[in-house]
């Protein structure tokens, strides 16, 4: 393990975040948010509507096209006790695509609220799906202190995706301290979301509109897409004294041939739209390194393995993956990542980052620090003093470290 990262104390990433700086609701217009620009060690600000004016001409923006699911299911016992079931990730079938098309029955890994009140009995609820009345049942088939296996069954041919849309609630972040409202159904979702699976939005993308995406195209700025399904672990606080003692959450991601070819075949200035896109791009690089080293395509990047690892050019790494995928006659590849990006990490693919302002003492803030060093303190101080809005529904920043700019 990298010694520097192991002994970093999380207290170094603490700052005072007043409650009135947290954006509890989105602005009326997505792109009306403020944009903090950090470039050449200078800080300035603009409107997000003008972000295209501040991007290098040869930029390739990588977006996370995951879609937030209505993961919170509220059930009631006959006694009236409320049980909240939070769907984390598919268990059977494991595939997200198969899961959401599943009929009649499926099993999820879940967090269960008020768990002690739910014994062995199934919980049943009658819901309206279109014009049909459907009986939906949840049964806990494995019980532990953290993640539970819950089997869902329903007496209709509707897909599980349709059941969630009719039954579930969009799980907005806990720090908003409010219930999900109708506005969240649209605004806690990017305009380019495609693949269902996240339980939290890739919030850097919430500012983009169809108009801004059109401007990017007109300006010749390329757009690429990956999919990383954001897990509830993104909100997990670092409770240990040092980063080395924190267990990072694991998230599933996928990418296709088109993305690899985009990155390999041109000399782009690669900008990640959000920490999830950054985490995925760097993880893809390490998949290629392991493939070259072992001759076998890995399916996971663990938390610390990349810190003491020999490195190669990122195009060589991605070329190895591309060759492997084509040899298997497949269009895309799916893997998981537990990588914890902390100071001491050397970025291999990403040169710029578009991101919101993150919680104190969070792994996301640690990632930002890895990207720009102690300058994060100056950026956050500026944002706090100049009325920027923080966290998921807050304002945005464009970060281009001087040592990465061409």
Interval 46-90: pLDDT, tens: 999 999 999 998 999 999 999 999 999 999 988 888 999 999 999
Q: What is the pLDDT of residue 319?
A: 97
Three-state DSSP at 139 gives strand
What is the per-residue pLDDT for 153? Answer: 97
With both helix axes pointing from N to C terminus, report the angle between 314-327 and 275-294 in degrees, rounded to the nearest 10: 70
Question: Which contacts (CB < 8 Å, 24+ apart) does range 259-262 have?
Answer: 259/62, 259/224, 259/225, 259/226, 260/318, 260/319, 260/321, 260/322, 260/325, 261/322, 262/60, 262/222, 262/224
Q: Helix or strand or coil: residue 383?
A: helix
Q: What whole-number distance in Å separates Cα of residue 81 and Cα of residue 259?
A: 48
Q: Which two tokens mark 78?
A: 């006959």
Per-residue pLDDT, 292: 96
Q: What share of the chain is helix, strand, coil (3-state, %, to 5)?
A: 35, 30, 40
What is the structure's pLDDT at 90? Answer: 95
Can you list the residues of the chain whose pLDDT is less than 70? 1-3, 403-406
Q: What is the pLDDT of residue 403?
A: 52
| Cα angle: 31, vertex 35, 41; to 5 degrees | 160
Q: In angstroms, rounded to a whole number, what is the distance separating the alpha carbons of residues 289 and 319?
A: 10
Q: Give me the pLDDT at residue 123, please.
A: 95
Two tokens at 285?
């690089």
Q: Which of 311, 246, 274, 266 has the alpha carbon at shortest distance from 190?
A: 274
pLDDT of 3 reads 53
- Domain ranges for the chain: 3-67+186-404, 70-169
Question: Which tokens is 320 given?
Answer: 């190895």
**Which tokens belong to 154?**
């329903």
For position 406, what pLDDT does the model report?
40
CA dist., res. 188 & res. 52, Å (int):
23
pTM of the model: 0.94
Q: Which CATH architecture has domain 3-67+186-404?
A: 3-Layer(aba) Sandwich (3.40)
Q: Which residues are CB-contacts of 96 (< 8 A; sequence separation ≥ 6)?
A: 90, 195, 196, 197, 229, 252
């Amino acid at each position: 393990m990298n010694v520097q990262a192991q002994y970093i104390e999380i207290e170094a990433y603490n700052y005072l975040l007043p409650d009135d700086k947290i954006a509890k609701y989105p602005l009326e217009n997505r792109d009306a948010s403020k944009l903090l620009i950090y470039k050449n060690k200078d800080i300035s600000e603009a409107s997000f509507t003008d972000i295209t004016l501040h991007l290098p001409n040869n930029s390739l923006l990588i977006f996370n096209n995951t879609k937030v699911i209505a993961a919170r299911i509220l059930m009631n016992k006959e006694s009236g006790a409320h049980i909240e079931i939070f769907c984390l990730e598919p268990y059977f079938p494991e595939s997200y695509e198969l899961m959401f098309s599943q009929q009649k029955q499926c099993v999820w890994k879940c967090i269960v609220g008020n768990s002690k009140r739910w014994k062995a009995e199934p919980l049943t609820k009658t819901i309206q799906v279109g014009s049909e009345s459907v009986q939906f049942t949840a049964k806990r088939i494995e019980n532990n202190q953290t993640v539970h296996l819950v089997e869902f069954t329903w007496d209709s041919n509707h897909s599980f995706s349709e059941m969630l849309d009719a039954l579930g609630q969009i799980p907005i972040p806990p720090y908003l301290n409010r219930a999900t409202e109708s506005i969240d159904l649209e605004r806690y979702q990017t305009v380019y979301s495609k693949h269902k699976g996240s339980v939290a939005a890739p919030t850097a993308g919430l500012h983009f509109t169809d108009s801004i995406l059109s401007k990017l195209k007109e300006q010749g700025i390329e757009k690429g897409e990956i999919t990383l399904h954001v897990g509830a672990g993104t909100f997990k606080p670092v409770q240990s004294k040092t980063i080395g003692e924190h267990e990072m959450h694991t998230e599933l991601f996928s990418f296709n041939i088109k993305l690899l070819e985009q990155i390999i075949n041109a000399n782009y200035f690669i900008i990640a739209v959000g920490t999830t896109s950054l985490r995925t791009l760097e993880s893809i690089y390490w998949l290629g390194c392991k493939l070259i080293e072992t001759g076998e395509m890995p399916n996971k990047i663990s938390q610390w393995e990349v810190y003491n690892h020999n490195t190669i050019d990122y195009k060589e790494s991605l070329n190895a993956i591309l060759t492997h995928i084509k040899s298997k006659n497949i269009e895309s590849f799916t893997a998981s990542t537990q990588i914890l990006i902390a100071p001491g990490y050397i970025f291999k693919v990403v040169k710029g980052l578009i991101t919101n302002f993150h919680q104190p003492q969070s792994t996301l803030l640690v990632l930002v620090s890895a990207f720009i060093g102690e300058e994060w303190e100056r950026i956050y101080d500026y944002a706090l003093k100049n009325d920027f809005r923080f966290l998921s529904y807050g304002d945005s920043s464009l970060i281009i470290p001087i040592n990465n700019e061409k």
